[in-house]
């Protein structure tokens, strides 16, 4: 499970092979990637959000090496305190009787999630939020029986410098 300690934002050319080059460099330095999400920003640009769990100097150095890739336009480490982190999870939960079904649905509502599929013996919940929130939800519904989990991994944006804001 991820705690998203180190969040690296890589803005790259949107071209085939770029993700390969980025991850290849991380592989070479033996990093265990916790999450990695890629999304297109515009026709020519993509944003990769990588979370690692590594405090060492190697991380700082690998960021500089990533920056040397011709396709990398911009790279920086996001300050976790000042970053909005979101993840989406789909969780298939066993609901074998009416009582557990209504309990689980209640939990989902508390977490402001959605029931996106219901079948006779299970349902699929969709939860978005910080990784911690998703972890908490999973813990909560575990007693009912969690059949499968799919998580997107973290995507993140740093806040502009201003007062207020929530995480």
- The pairing of beta strand 72-78 with beta strand 146-151: unpaired
Stretch binding another protein (CB under 8 A), from 18-26, 34-42, 76-84, 86-94: 18-26
Select from 20-28, 81-89, 99-107, 159-167 the region that touches another protein (CB under 8 A).
Answer: 20-28
Q: Which of 33, 38, 69, 84 touches another protein (CB under 8 A)?
A: 69
CB of residue 41 to another protein, shortest distance in Å: 12
**Strand intervals (E) in the chain:** 6-13, 35-42, 45-52, 72-78, 83-94, 114-118, 122-129, 146-151, 155-158
Q: Any idea of the CA torsion for 69, 26, 56, 157, to the nearest 10 degrees?
A: 70
Interface pattern 48-67 for another protein (x via CB under 8 A): ---------x---x--xx-x
d(CA 9, CA 116): 31
Report if residue 70 touches another protein, rule: CB under 8 A: yes
- Shortest gap between Cβ of 21 and another protein (angstroms)? 6
The count of other CB atoms within 10 Å of the CB of residue 71 is: 15
Q: CB 98: neighbour CB atoms within 10 A?
A: 8
Q: How far is the CB of 35 from another protein (least distance, A)?
A: 23
Q: Whole-angstrom Cα distance, residue 88 to residue 130?
A: 9
79 forms part of the interface with another protein (CB under 8 A): no
Question: In the complex, which residues of this chain contact another protein (CB under 8 A)?
Answer: 12-13, 17, 20-21, 24-25, 28, 57, 61, 64-65, 67-74
């Amino acid at each position: 499970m991820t705690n998203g300690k180190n969040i690296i934002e890589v803005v790259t050319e949107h071209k085939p092979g770029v993700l390969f080059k980025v991850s290849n460099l991380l592989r070479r330095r033996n990093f265990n990637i916790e999450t990695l999400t890629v999304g297109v920003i515009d026709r020519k640009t993509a944003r990769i959000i990588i979370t690692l769990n590594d405090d060492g100097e190697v991380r700082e150095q690998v960021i500089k090496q990533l920056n040397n890739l011709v396709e990398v336009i911009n790279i920086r480490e996001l300050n976790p305190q000042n970053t909005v982190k979101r993840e989406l999870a789909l969780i298939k939960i066993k609901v074998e009787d009416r009582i557990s079904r209504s309990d689980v649905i209640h939990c989902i509502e508390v977490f402001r999630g959605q029931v996106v599929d219901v079948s006779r013996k299970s349902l699929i919940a969709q939860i978005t939020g910080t990784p911690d929130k998703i972890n908490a939800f999973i813990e909560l519904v575990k007693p009912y029986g969690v059949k499968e989990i799919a998580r997107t991994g973290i995507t993140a944006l740093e806040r502009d410098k201003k007062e207020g804001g929530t995480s």
